[in-house]
Amino acid sequence: MASTAPILESMSTRKLCYVVGGLSLVWAGCLLAGAVVSPKPNSSMQVSGTKCVDRTPGAAGDRWFYPRGRGKCQSIPDFDSQETLDMGLTADNIVFAFHLPHKREKAQLEYRSVSGTTLLRWLVFFFYL
Looking at residue 43, what DSSP letter applies?
S
3 state SS of 22: helix
For residue 39, tell me if it sits in a domain.
no
**61: Cα within 13 Å, side-chain hemisphere:** 4
Burial of residue 105 (number of CB atoms within 10 Å: 0-12, 13-18, 19+) = exposed
Q: What is the pTM of this model?
A: 0.44
- Give percent of the chain with pLDDT exceeding 70: 72
Residue 90: which domain range?
48-99
46 contact partners, CB below 8 Å, separation of at least 6: 102
Domains in the chain: how many in total?
A: 1
Taking a C-beta distance cutoff of 8 angstroms, is the pair 50, 94 a contact?
no
Count helices and strands (H / E) in the chain. Answer: 4, 2
Residue 38 lies in a domain: no
Nearest residue to 52 (alpha-carbon basis) of 10, 87, 17, 19:
87
- Residue at 24 is within a domain: no
Domain presence at residue 94:
yes
pLDDT in tens, 38-92: 666 655 667 778 888 888 877 766 778 888 888 888 888 888 888 878 888 888 8
- Asked if residue 31 is part of any domain, the answer here is no
